[in-house]
């Protein structure tokens, strides 16, 4: 088996075995605690520029199928695993994980003590690293990350608008690194969707005459997407808004909140979240390395609706004046529990309520 190395920014080297593509890549090393869902995670654009380590000791055992991709062209920098299944056994299996990574030019390294490495990240925080076949090439790759980190949304977003047509409410999805499962949830509700690029202006959004606007998930630091803030500030006064993950953070920034980089983030499918007003607990799918600063919310027109039980991270916000709300987690799941999928229904009900209100005002 070919040797491969995981090299950290501090010079530490861990030796493993190669799988996936024969290329060298660098990125922020993060861990995902999900027991399944490796395909959805690898194809999630929120992992753009990150080396994804799975804490579950065996991955690849049910293979890859063409139905569960969350994007057409995954941009995950690399995959780290303890063990990769030699054969896959599932009626939906269409190719091996190894073949899939080779097709998408993503390197993998296996034979790693992922338990020990996860404990180290939890203690020291996320770190930059590189997956390489030649140790000497790692420092240059790691040093080049600073520039690319500011362009992650640009690299993840569509550059041309496209439709996902249906007969229901007109929804504009602003694509900051969109998961296909969001489109599936909207399609199940007969929404007539138009997907717009991340750099779309408020006027370009309004030209689509939307009943509502969804701000999608995406990768990286929300402060690297300043152009979206003015668009959000304008749109929220005119059209109902629903923000998810990065969309949640951008909604917060647009309304005067602050965000910060977490020590090691939330990446997994078992995060308990409490809705404050009802005390309802949902288990949620999450994938983010940044969060909204709870202390910064008090001086804004937003209020906190949800919080993570384990560390009290802000998990939901709502505007006091406008029909606009957001959540840090992924209500579309895929993978993960579907406890919070009702939020898509809440979004459509908010649109109905806003339309009824406008009709009443017209008759007064």
| Complete domains list, the chain, with CATH | 3-143 (3.50.30.20), 153-363 (3.40.50.880)
Number of CB atoms found within 10 A of residue 233's CB? 15
Out of 82, 266, 330, 339, which one is annotated catalytic? 330
8 Å CB contact between 13 and 7: yes
To the query of whether residue 330 is one of the catalytic residues in this protein, the response is yes
158 close to 197: Cβ distance less than 8 angstroms:
yes
* Residue 125 assigned ligand-binding role: no
Q: Which of these, 58, 65, 56, lies nearest to 96 by C-alpha position?
A: 65
Instruction: Pick the catalytic residue from 44, 245, 319, 339.
Output: 245
Q: Give tens-digit pLDDT for 320-330.
A: 999 999 999 99
User: Residue 265: which of 291, 289, 294 has the closest Cα?
Assistant: 289
Element holding 303 (H helix, E strand): strand 302-308
- What mean pLDDT do residues 193-203 have? 98
98 in active site: no
**Both tokens assigned to 247:** 């969309």
How does pLDDT run across 97-121, given as a tens digit for each residue? 999 999 999 999 999 999 999 999 9
What are the backbone angles phi and psi of residue 255, rounded to the nearest 5°?
-105, 20
Which of these ranges, 39-43, 172-176, 326-330, 355-359, has the smallest mean pLDDT?
A: 355-359
144 belongs to an annotated ligand binding site: no
Instruction: Tell me the pLDDT band of 364, cut-offs 50, 70 and 90.
Output: low
293 is catalytic: no
pLDDT of residue 141: 94
Q: Listing from the earlier edge strand, what are the strands of the sheet with 314-319?
A: 162-164, 192-196, 170-174, 212-215, 241-244, 324-327, 314-319, 302-308, 259-275, 280-292
Q: What is the DSSP string of 73-110?
A: S--B-EEE-SEE-SS---TT--B-HHHHHHHTT-EEEE
pLDDT tens digit sequence for 296-324: 999 999 999 999 999 999 999 999 999 99
Query: Region 37-55: what's the mean pLDDT?
Result: 96
Report d(CA 328, CA 251) in Å as an integer: 11
Asked if residues 114 and 31 have their Cβ atoms less than 8 Å apart, the reply is yes
8 A C-beta contact, residue 78 and residue 109? yes
Residue 177, SS3? coil
Q: What share of the chain in percent tops pLDDT 90?
A: 93
246 is in an annotated binding site: yes
**Is 249 assigned a ligand-binding role in the annotation?**
yes
Report strand pairing: 3-8 vs 127-132.
antiparallel
Tell whether 152 is in a known binding site.
Answer: no
* Long-range Cβ pairs for the range 267-271 (8 Å, 24+): 267/30, 267/31, 267/32, 267/33, 267/41, 268/32, 268/33, 268/34, 269/33, 269/34, 269/35, 269/37, 269/333, 269/335, 269/336, 269/337, 270/33, 270/34, 270/336, 270/337, 271/308, 271/310, 271/329
Question: pLDDT tens, 233-286?
Answer: 999 999 999 999 999 999 999 999 999 999 999 999 999 999 999 999 999 999
> What is the pLDDT confidence band of residue 71, given thresholds at 50, 70 and 90?
very high
289 is in an annotated binding site: yes
- Residue 262 token pair: 């977490």
Handedness of CA 116, 35, 244, 300 (dihedral sign): negative
- On whether the CB atoms of residues 211 and 169 are closer than 8 A, the answer is yes
In angstroms, rounded to a whole number, what is the distance separating the alpha carbons of residues 45 and 47? 5
145 labeled part of a ligand binding site: no
62 is in an annotated binding site: no
Residue 45 pLDDT greater than 80, yes or no: yes
């Amino acid at each position: 088996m070919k040797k491969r190395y995981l090299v950290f920014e501090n010079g530490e080297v861990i030796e493993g075995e190669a799988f996936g593509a024969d290329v060298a890549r660098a990125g922020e090393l993060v861990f995902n605690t999900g027991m399944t869902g490796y395909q959805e995670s690898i194809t999630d654009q929120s992992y753009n520029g990150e080396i994804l380590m799975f804490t579950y000791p065996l991955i690849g055992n049910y293979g890859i199928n063409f139905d569960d991709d969350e994007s057409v062209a995954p941009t995950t920098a690399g995959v780290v695993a303890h063990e990769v299944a030699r054969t896959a056994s599932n009626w939906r299996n269409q190719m091996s994980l190894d073949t899939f990574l080779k097709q998408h030019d993503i390197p993998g390294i296996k034979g790693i003590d992922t338990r020990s490495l996860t404990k180290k990240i939890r203690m020291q925080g996320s770190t930059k690293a590189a997956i390489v076949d030649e140790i000497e090439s790692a420092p240059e790759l790691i040093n080049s990350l600073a520039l690319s980190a500011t362009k992650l949304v640009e690299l993840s977003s569509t550059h041309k608008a496209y439709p996902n047509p249906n007969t229901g409410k007109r929804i504009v999805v602003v694509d900051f690194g969109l998961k296909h499962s969001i489109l599936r949830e909207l399609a199940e509700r007969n929404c007539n969707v138009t997907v717009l690029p991340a750099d779309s202006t408020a006027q370009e959004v309004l030209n689509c005459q939307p009943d509502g606007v969804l701000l999608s998930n995406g990768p990286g630091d929300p402060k690297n997407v300043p152009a979206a803030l003015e668009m959000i500030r304008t749109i929220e006064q005119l059209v109902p808004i629903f923000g998810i993950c990065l969309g949640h953070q951008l909604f917060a920034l647009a309304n005067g909140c602050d965000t910060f980089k977490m020590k090691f983030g939330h990446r997994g499918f078992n995060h308990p979240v409490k809705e404050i007003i009802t005390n309802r607990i949902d288990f949620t799918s999450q994938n983010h390395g940044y969060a909204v600063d709870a202390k910064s919310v008090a001086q804004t027109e937003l209020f906190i609706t949800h919080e993570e039980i384990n560390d009290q991270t802000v998990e939901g916000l709502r505007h006091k004046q406008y029909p606009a709300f957001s959540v840090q987690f992924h209500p579309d799941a895929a993978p993960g529990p579907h406890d919070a999928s009702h939020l898509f229904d809440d979004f459509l009900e908010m649109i109905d309520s806003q339309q009824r209100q406008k009709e009443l005002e017209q008759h007064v």
